[in-house]
Amino acid sequence: MEFCSLSTLAMADRHGEDSPYFDGWKAYDLNPYHPLFNPSGIIQMGLAENQVGSDLLEEWLEKHSDILAWKGTLTSFKETALYQDYHGLANFRKALANFMVEVRGGSVKIDPDNIVLTAGATAGNEILTFCIANPGEALLVPTPYYPGFDRDLRWRTGVDILPIKFYSHNNFEITIPALEKAYQEGLNCRKNIKGILLTNPSNPLGLTISPTTLEKILDFAAEKSIHVISDEVYAGTVFSSEPFTSILEIMQKSSKSYDSNTVHVVYSLSKDLGLPGFRIGAIYSSNQKIVTASRRMSSFSLISSQTQVLLKCLLSDSEFIATYLATLKKRLRRRHGEFVKGLKEIGIDCLEGNSGLFCWVNLRKFLPSDNFDGEMKLWRVILGEIGLNISPGSSFHCQEPGWFRVCYGNMNDADMNVALGRIICATIGETTKIPLTSTPVEGRVMATLDVEQQAESLA
């Protein structure tokens, strides 16, 4: 019997799953940390998940448990259970539009009719890529960038990513000369460049893009006649005193006449609201051809009507949303400050971030060799011997070895202190797993308790 062949897509090596970013998750799944049942397991610091405000959401659900019985939802079980328009429920899109405006400080206007619902930002980015580019064409993406883009933008679309290379000497800031260089290199390789994809705030840098830089990017895109996609899934996690600036704000308030048909935003409730399991994403575009095509494609990634009904009620509670967003920023500011301080006490530096659920940490001085082979060796020690799943910069296409993304938003304070304790013990303990570069730190009690004491204190 002859072998039954598979499709080119099924066999294509474009998914991006062969990466330490995903390998770390697999290692964690085999040996997950638990303070009582597996205190020596791997602590998950490679997952950008927002658990900082989970208690607020749970409290809201307890107070509004009648919604789960369809009371006060302005709809019925039968209406929700039957087929719905692919556009999604109108009242949910309106509530989502209002939430997106609130997250952006009320500085933008968002028309619910220009929102396309998708099953998470993953589907949103892929759908926009399908709309903008053909197989073999390319998008420009600043480095370092989220490893999932290698899957989201490339795998099924056949579109290529052309990295725009940035470096630590200027805090990885996006500059026009670097944009121009990447664009010209793409042309030299005979690539038809269709757009640029931004993440603002940045994953993995935890930095927002300044209004001045956003305007320069829009000028660049207008000059080249290419699209701009702004992935703004971390917009509500900005904890600095400076407000987040959406590319929509630049578009809507600038004295320049930018073409709104070429600028598009991807958003979701996964990061700001901490609901990745609900799979709520959205495309926002003023380009009606893209809106129409995106809605047709979204039929392959619909959101359940039941989920929309529940979240419409949640997002429509304006008092709760205002309290939630303010509390989230306050908690993230404190968590970020404590984590960075803990690392700084043992001589480990981080990029000065102002947003996100993670830190961009510089471990270059610990590399056994100053190259990406050295980075992978250090990563294996951190994962296998120290028991922390953090993500190496090479998986984010960082151009310099030694940078790591370390997440702190997906755990409680006690677990974060345990993680810091492991780092302290690894750098200054009696059995040093990575080179000693700083003096011992006193007083971090939770971090230096033995395993039995940790379990007892957390019980």
Residue 354 is part of a domain; what is its CATH number? 3.90.1150.10
Residue 256 lies in a domain: yes
**315 contacts 96 by C-beta, under 8 angstroms:** yes
Phi and psi at 326, nearest 5°, equal -65, -40
Q: Are residues 293 and 337 in the same domain?
A: no
Asked which of 281, 299, 317 is the last residue of a domain, the reply is 317
State the pLDDT at residue 450. Answer: 36
With a threshold of 0.75, does the pTM exceed it?
yes
Smallest CA-to-CA distance from 266 within 311, 315, 221, 233 is with 233
CATH code at position 239: 3.40.640.10
Q: Are residues 202 and 166 in the same domain?
A: yes
**Domains identified in the chain, total number:** 2
Residue 27 lies in a domain: yes
Residue 438 lies in a domain: no
State the pLDDT at residue 449. Answer: 30
State the pLDDT at residue 66. Answer: 80
Residue 331 lies in a domain: yes
How far apart are alpha carbons 348 and 423 in whole angstroms? 10
Cis peptide bond upstream of 144, omega within 30: yes
Q: Are residues 90 and 137 in the same domain?
A: yes
Residue 66 lies in a domain: no
Q: Mind listing the pLDDT tens digit of every residue in the chain (459 residues)?
A: 566 888 888 887 777 677 777 888 889 999 999 999 999 999 999 999 999 999 999 999 999 888 776 676 667 777 777 777 778 889 999 999 999 999 999 999 999 999 999 999 999 999 999 999 999 999 999 999 999 999 999 999 999 999 999 999 999 999 999 999 999 999 999 999 999 999 999 999 999 999 999 999 999 999 999 999 999 999 999 999 888 999 999 999 988 889 999 999 999 999 999 999 999 999 999 999 999 999 999 988 889 988 998 999 999 999 999 999 999 999 999 999 999 999 999 999 999 999 999 999 999 999 999 999 999 999 999 999 999 999 999 999 999 999 999 999 999 999 999 999 999 888 875 444 554 333 333 333 233 333 333 333 333
Q: Are residues 290 and 148 in the same domain?
A: yes
Which residue in the block uniquely carries the two structure tokens 């996100």? 356
Q: Are residues 299 and 416 in the same domain?
A: no
Sequence-distant (6+) residues with CB within 8 A of 412 are: 51
Phi and psi at 449, nearest 5°, equal -65, 150
**244 contacts 201 by C-beta, under 8 angstroms:** yes
Q: Are residues 407 and 259 in the same domain?
A: no
Can you tell me whether residue 267 is helix, strand or coil? strand
How far apart are alpha carbons 46 and 65 in whole angstroms? 33
Q: Are residues 240 and 300 in the same domain?
A: yes
Asked which of 317, 346, 364 is the last residue of a domain, the reply is 317
Q: Are residues 264 and 365 in the same domain?
A: no
Cis peptide bond upstream of 201, omega within 30: yes
Residue 230 lies in a domain: yes
Q: Are residues 41 and 185 in the same domain?
A: no
State the pLDDT at residue 239. Answer: 96
Which residue in the block uniquely carries the two structure tokens 């904890």? 239
Q: Are residues 145 and 256 in the same domain?
A: yes
How far apart are alpha carbons 111 and 116 in whole angstroms? 11
Question: What domain range includes position 16?
Answer: 12-54+321-427
Q: Are residues 248 and 270 in the same domain?
A: yes
Bridge-partner residues for 198, per DSSP?
Answer: 230
Q: Are residues 218 and 285 in the same domain?
A: yes
Residue 112 lies in a domain: yes
Residue 274 lies in a domain: yes
Q: Is 376 exposed, middle or buried (0-12, 13-18, 19+ CB in 10 A)?
A: middle
Asked which of 317, 340, 370 is the last residue of a domain, the reply is 317
**161 contacts 149 by C-beta, under 8 angstroms:** yes
Task: Find the helix packing angle between 90-103 and 318-344, rounded to 10°.
Answer: 40
